[in-house]
Structure 1
Amino acid sequence: MSTIPRTMKAVVTKSNGGYEQLQYQDVPVPELLPGTVLLKVLSAGVNNTDINTRLGWYAAKVKKGTLALSSGEIDNSMDGGWKERTPFPLIQGTDCCGRVVAVGSGQDAHLLNSRVLVRPCMRSSGWESLETIWLGSDCDGAFAEYVRVPSPEVFPVDCEWSDEELGTIPCAYGTAENMLHRASVQDGDIVLVRGSSGGVGSAVVQLAGRRGARVIAVTSKGKKREVASLAVERVITHEELASGVLPSNSVDVVVDNVAGPDFGEMLNMLKRGGCLVTSGAIAGAQVTIDLRSLYLKDLRLIGCTAWAEPVFRDVISYIEQGEIRPLLAGVFPMEEIAAAQQEFSRKHHVGKLVLLPHQV
């Protein structure tokens, strides 16, 4: 095993703001604590939450969608998080594929040299509480050469996938599986997925199909062919959905991380007793719904952040059993994070973009 250096390269986000807040610099390698492990980062995916946190989009005073929020509208007096401050300066990076290079406690020695994925949603007060700590938002994350994480949050993975492919998984697939778990999606359910070409959306499509659901994927015209390759039952465009191509009362579950002005119409799509589940709002968090649809149709509206206990372990098993496949849209060196986030925000890709740290 190579000697662990005292310093490393990392992308440090200095404050809320634009790309100028992303500084690639030398920082100390994290010190091990009891119950933690040190990972050499092999790959780190790019996610909406990384950009949301930098922009301060989670601040309650922000009304626009992520793509409509410009850095010129941001001031450092914003809380940045959901009614609490983000701990800047911060090493972001919610997705981590890494290799365990040191352990802080003897009982974790079996993890040494394992290739692992990190569960980014950590239930900080146990499984009976919904309190969470998110890697890269509440504590230093994977946009670095090394990262320290609690040992219960690392999961060895035995597969032939590349490091880059594994870097597409943690946040998107964990979030997707958690929504399907909470909505109790099962064999034969008709599931409508908005934003099906994104990291979370494409994961929902695969994971819902794995459960035997009949998936209707919503995407842009230019991405229909790629989304159709995920073996969905039907692919429609956003424009087709808005024009009424689907009848009312036709789906069992809506998975919607897009939100925005069309969010309320999704309740009309649901059958009586159906469920809408969400964990994001890329097109805007301020929405309008008709409460009569909600209560007269006996609908369930579920918001998801805290992951259920079996979710991430199940995702690892799906990888090892060959039941899902990665959607790697592009790879960037970590020092080119601004270019990667710019490409991410253009939304021309299907799947995930991944950063690679400098390899010594």
Structure 2
Amino acid sequence: MNASQVMRAVRITRHGGPEVLELAEVAVPAPEAGEVLVRVGAVALNNTDLWTREGAYGRPGDPGAKSGWRGPIGFPRIQGADVAGRVVAVGTGVERSLVGRRVVVDPAIYDSEGPDANPVGLMGSERDGGYAEYVTAPAQRVHDVTGSPLTDDQLASLPTAYGTALGMIERGRLRKGETALVSGASGGVGLALVQLARARGATVLAISSGPKIDAVREAGAHAVIDRAGDIAEQTRAAAPDGIDVALDVVAGELVGEGLPLLREGGRWVIAGALGGYDVTFDVRRLYLHNAQVIGSAMHTPTHFGLLMDLARRADVQPVIAAAFPLEQAARAQEELSRREHVGKIVMHP
């Protein structure tokens, strides 16, 4: 690669609707010291892409403020956190043997170097991402999956959705034989939670609705609770002894309704607010039962390493709902926002 080469990329120059996504020709980024350059094979879409584009994250003390994942966005910004592809060049201090390897990029920007570091930024939000033909990434965040039987589309589906799901499962200490309740089960993170909790040996109850119920059952849910009905009543019927761990991306009213369903010492893990960020619950249901409410943002480097082990063995099989070319990024995001699909939407640069 030489520095004069250009690539196609989709970027945003301001917050707004799908119309702010623009296809541009930009210089291929050069890998700096400690970085690699990846030719993008597939990039997966996430709700994070929509909320970053809209500036929907708010800020501490100002929930209505236009903001990226962790603060103001530096525009123009190339979106896209989830990349699978091949290493085509390396910066100084990086093993040349990485060139040609098939990789998945851990999109998290961490607060420290340790194995349990917290994510404080995200590729596609705090640094340029994979809505492009090429992207740079720190070499230590690139995981070699050359031998994995999964497709590029499936591998690209893993980082944010499955990383977030595995982070929730690990932080919630879900063990084999326990009962898990998964909200928003047909979405990207929800379907990942169903698959990963099932792979761990848990009994999985999933909340979904309408035509998506069959797909959620197919992903491994032991029972599906219809969102249109009384969730608490259905859950009690399916799990009379209660829930050990709730894996929740919906929040809103579900938290108040659901906390009484937890068993003694139960854990309610929240990683999203699709149902609203204003939550009310009876605090007695928390302390009298030694329950815990746990916030979970993405994953740690340790969690991501566990996920890549699963990917190499194809122990999880991401479901692909649709694939779009890069120039149809706006259409792809609109499709995502409609929430009529089951599985992941990907783009091919």
Q: TM-score, normalised by structure 1?
A: 0.90
**In structure 1, distance between residues paired with 2:119 and 2:82:** 20
How do residues 1-360 of structure 1 correspond to structure 2 at under 5 angstroms?
6-60=5-59, 61-62=62-63, 78-81=65-68, 84-127=71-114, 129-130=117-118, 132-157=120-145, 158-242=147-231, 244-247=233-236, 250-305=242-297, 307-357=299-349
CA contact (8 A) 1:132 1:306 kept: no
2:235 aligns to what SS in structure 1? coil
**In structure 2, distance between residues paired with 1:53 and 1:195:** 20
CA contact (8 A) 1:45 1:96 kept: yes
**In structure 2, distance between residues paired with 1:152 and 1:97:** 15
Rate the CA distance shift 1:309–1:129 in 2: closer, same or farther, 3 A. Answer: closer
Rate the CA distance shift 1:318–1:131 in 2: closer, same or farther, 3 A. Answer: closer
CA contact (8 A) 2:155 2:311 kept: no
Q: TM-score, normalised by structure 2?
A: 0.93
Q: What letter is aligned with 1:94?
A: A
Q: What letter is aligned with 2:107?
A: P
CA contact (8 A) 1:79 1:86 kept: no
CA contact (8 A) 1:122 1:153 kept: no
**In structure 2, distance between residues paired with 1:281 and 1:119:** 23
**In structure 2, distance between residues paired with 1:169 and 1:331:** 15
**In structure 1, distance between residues paired with 2:44 and 2:292:** 32
Listed one character per residue, the Cα deviations across residues 120-146 of structure 1 (whole Å, up to 9, x for unaligned) are: 123242226535221111100001111
2:82 aligns to what SS in structure 1? coil
Q: What letter is aligned with 1:135?
A: M
Rate the CA distance shift 1:48–1:131 in 2: closer, same or farther, 3 A. Answer: closer
Rate the CA distance shift 1:292–1:59 in 2: closer, same or farther, 3 A. Answer: same
Rate the CA distance shift 1:183–1:114 in 2: closer, same or farther, 3 A. Answer: same
**In structure 2, distance between residues paired with 1:289 and 1:342:** 34
**In structure 1, distance between residues paired with 2:311 and 2:72:** 36
- Structure 1 unaligned spans of 5+: 64-77
CA contact (8 A) 2:253 2:279 kept: yes
Q: CA deviation at 1:159?
A: 1.6
Q: What letter is aligned with 1:271?
A: R
Rate the CA distance shift 1:351–1:306 in 2: closer, same or farther, 3 A. Answer: closer
- Structure 2 unaligned spans of 5+: none
Aligned length: 342
